[in-house]
Amino acid sequence: MNINIKATNIDLAPTLKEYVEKKLSHIEDKLIDNNQGGVSCDVEVGKTTRHHKHGDIYRAEFNLHIAGKFYRTEEEESNLYAAIDKAKDELFRTVKRDKKKTIKRNRRGMLKIKNILRGLKW
Protein backbone atom coordinates (compact mmCIF):
# COMPACT_ATOMS: atom_id res chain seq x y z
CA MET A 1 0.00 0.00 0.00
CA ASN A 2 1.26 3.46 -0.90
CA ILE A 3 0.83 5.85 2.08
CA ASN A 4 1.21 9.63 1.74
CA ILE A 5 1.21 11.52 5.05
CA LYS A 6 0.78 15.29 5.28
CA ALA A 7 0.98 17.35 8.46
CA THR A 8 -0.86 20.68 8.76
CA ASN A 9 0.15 23.26 11.38
CA ILE A 10 2.34 20.69 13.19
CA ASP A 11 5.67 19.00 12.61
CA LEU A 12 5.57 15.46 11.23
CA ALA A 13 7.61 13.53 13.79
CA PRO A 14 8.93 10.06 12.91
CA THR A 15 6.95 8.56 15.80
CA LEU A 16 3.73 10.04 14.42
CA LYS A 17 4.52 8.69 10.96
CA GLU A 18 5.19 5.21 12.38
CA TYR A 19 1.95 5.35 14.38
CA VAL A 20 -0.14 6.15 11.30
CA GLU A 21 1.59 3.44 9.25
CA LYS A 22 0.99 0.91 12.04
CA LYS A 23 -2.72 1.76 12.16
CA LEU A 24 -3.08 1.48 8.39
CA SER A 25 -1.20 -1.82 8.29
CA HIS A 26 -4.03 -3.29 10.39
CA ILE A 27 -6.52 -2.39 7.64
CA GLU A 28 -4.17 -3.69 4.96
CA ASP A 29 -3.65 -7.03 6.72
CA LYS A 30 -7.32 -7.66 7.49
CA LEU A 31 -9.27 -6.32 4.51
CA ILE A 32 -7.11 -5.74 1.45
CA ASP A 33 -6.12 -8.56 -0.87
CA ASN A 34 -2.48 -8.69 -1.90
CA ASN A 35 -3.36 -9.10 -5.59
CA GLN A 36 -5.23 -5.77 -5.71
CA GLY A 37 -2.97 -3.27 -7.39
CA GLY A 38 -3.00 0.47 -7.01
CA VAL A 39 -3.96 0.68 -3.34
CA SER A 40 -3.08 4.07 -1.91
CA CYS A 41 -3.96 6.11 1.15
CA ASP A 42 -3.60 9.86 1.63
CA VAL A 43 -3.45 10.89 5.28
CA GLU A 44 -3.65 14.43 6.62
CA VAL A 45 -3.12 15.10 10.32
CA GLY A 46 -2.78 18.37 12.15
CA LYS A 47 -4.33 21.24 14.08
CA THR A 48 -7.52 22.72 12.71
CA THR A 49 -6.74 26.30 13.78
CA ARG A 50 -4.29 28.15 15.98
CA HIS A 51 -6.73 30.36 17.88
CA HIS A 52 -8.53 28.05 20.33
CA LYS A 53 -8.45 29.42 23.88
CA HIS A 54 -8.95 26.16 25.78
CA GLY A 55 -6.63 23.73 24.06
CA ASP A 56 -5.89 22.46 20.64
CA ILE A 57 -8.27 20.66 18.31
CA TYR A 58 -6.59 18.05 16.12
CA ARG A 59 -7.97 16.36 13.05
CA ALA A 60 -7.15 13.23 11.11
CA GLU A 61 -8.34 12.62 7.56
CA PHE A 62 -7.93 9.37 5.61
CA ASN A 63 -8.58 9.03 1.86
CA LEU A 64 -8.25 5.40 0.76
CA HIS A 65 -8.30 4.26 -2.87
CA ILE A 66 -8.86 0.53 -3.44
CA ALA A 67 -9.49 -0.93 -6.90
CA GLY A 68 -11.41 2.06 -8.22
CA LYS A 69 -13.32 2.68 -4.97
CA PHE A 70 -12.82 5.69 -2.73
CA TYR A 71 -13.27 5.75 1.05
CA ARG A 72 -12.95 8.91 3.15
CA THR A 73 -13.12 9.55 6.88
CA GLU A 74 -12.39 12.60 8.98
CA GLU A 75 -12.35 12.98 12.77
CA GLU A 76 -11.60 15.82 15.20
CA GLU A 77 -10.47 15.35 18.80
CA SER A 78 -8.55 17.15 21.52
CA ASN A 79 -5.79 14.51 21.23
CA LEU A 80 -4.09 13.80 17.90
CA TYR A 81 -3.67 10.07 18.55
CA ALA A 82 -7.35 9.74 19.54
CA ALA A 83 -8.37 11.43 16.28
CA ILE A 84 -6.18 9.01 14.31
CA ASP A 85 -7.66 6.02 16.16
CA LYS A 86 -11.26 7.13 15.57
CA ALA A 87 -10.64 7.85 11.90
CA LYS A 88 -8.95 4.45 11.44
CA ASP A 89 -11.85 2.66 13.16
CA GLU A 90 -14.41 4.41 10.97
CA LEU A 91 -12.40 3.61 7.83
CA PHE A 92 -12.13 -0.03 8.91
CA ARG A 93 -15.91 -0.28 9.45
CA THR A 94 -16.65 1.32 6.09
CA VAL A 95 -14.31 -0.91 4.10
CA LYS A 96 -15.50 -4.03 5.95
CA ARG A 97 -19.17 -3.18 5.32
CA ASP A 98 -18.52 -2.65 1.61
CA LYS A 99 -16.58 -5.91 1.38
CA LYS A 100 -19.48 -7.81 3.02
CA LYS A 101 -21.95 -6.26 0.57
CA THR A 102 -19.83 -7.43 -2.35
CA ILE A 103 -19.60 -10.98 -0.96
CA LYS A 104 -23.37 -11.14 -0.35
CA ARG A 105 -24.08 -9.86 -3.86
CA ASN A 106 -21.80 -12.53 -5.37
CA ARG A 107 -23.40 -15.30 -3.29
CA ARG A 108 -26.89 -14.20 -4.34
CA GLY A 109 -25.88 -14.39 -8.00
CA MET A 110 -24.34 -17.83 -7.59
CA LEU A 111 -27.45 -19.06 -5.74
CA LYS A 112 -29.63 -18.03 -8.69
CA ILE A 113 -27.38 -19.94 -11.09
CA LYS A 114 -27.46 -22.98 -8.79
CA ASN A 115 -31.27 -22.93 -8.66
CA ILE A 116 -31.45 -22.69 -12.45
CA LEU A 117 -29.13 -25.67 -12.82
CA ARG A 118 -31.20 -27.70 -10.33
CA GLY A 119 -34.24 -27.21 -12.55
CA LEU A 120 -32.47 -28.74 -15.54
CA LYS A 121 -32.54 -32.53 -15.95
CA TRP A 122 -29.34 -34.14 -17.14
Q: Where are the domains of the chain?
A: 2-119
pLDDT of residue 51: 65
pLDDT score recorded for residue 9 = 86
**Is there a contact between 56 and 39 (Cβ–Cβ < 8 Å)?**
no
Task: Say if pTM beats, i.e. exceeds, 0.85.
Answer: no
* CA pair distance 20, 17, nearest whole angstrom: 5
Q: Which residues are 70's β-sheet partners?
A: 65
- Hey, what CATH class is 2-119 in? alpha beta
Q: Which tens digits make up the pLDDT trace of 10-20?
A: 899 999 999 99
pLDDT beneath 50, residues of the chain:
none
Report how far residue 88's alpha carbon sits from residue 51's, in angstroms, rounded to the nearest whole number: 27
Residue 92: its pLDDT value, please?
92
Q: According to the model, what pLDDT value does residue 108 have? A: 83
Burial 21-60 (b: 16+ CB within 10 A, else e): eebbeebbeeebeeeeeebebebebbeeeeeeeeebebbb
> Residue 108 and residue 51: Cα distance in Å, rounded?
54
